[in-house]
């Protein structure tokens, strides 16, 4: 799902999934995502992981089922 009315659109890439507008894993500090440290702060600008439809769906499902965020993160890392 895209939110064309978002003031940050376009965020990362065409047809991204915007279900997880704010990442539940911030700051993951995992450079495999494309994120990196900039001036001592974690920057997610290069991360596309949670904006992939299959990842967003898996994360929402895990969180709705009451799984801990760390368990959901293990699911996400399968796509890295």
9/17 Cα distance (integer angstroms): 12
The total number of structural domains that make up the chain: 1
Residue appearing with tokens 């047809």: 15
Q: How many residues does the chain have?
A: 80
The answer to whether 11 touches 58, Cβ cutoff 8 Å, is no
> Residue 43 pairs with which residues in a beta bridge?
36
pTM: 0.75
35/43 Cα distance (integer angstroms): 6
Give the pLDDT of residue 66. Answer: 92
The model's pLDDT over 27-41, given as tens digits with 9 standing for 90+, comes to 999 999 999 999 999
Range of the domain at 57: 1-80
Give the pLDDT of residue 12. Answer: 67
Q: Which helix (H) or strand (E) holds 36?
A: strand 36-38
The model's pLDDT over 29-75, given as tens digits with 9 standing for 90+, comes to 999 999 999 999 999 888 888 888 888 998 999 889 999 888 888 88
């Amino acid at each position: 799902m895209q939110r064309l009315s978002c003031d940050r659109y376009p965020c990362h890439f065409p047809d991204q999934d915007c279900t997880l507008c704010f990442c539940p894993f911030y700051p993951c500090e995992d450079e495999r995502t494309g994120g990196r440290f900039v001036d001592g702060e974690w920057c997610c600008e290069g991360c596309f992981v949670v904006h992939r439809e299959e990842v967003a769906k898996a994360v929402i499902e895990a969180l709705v089922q009451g799984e801990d965020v760390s368990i959901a993160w293990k699911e996400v890392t399968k796509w890295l």
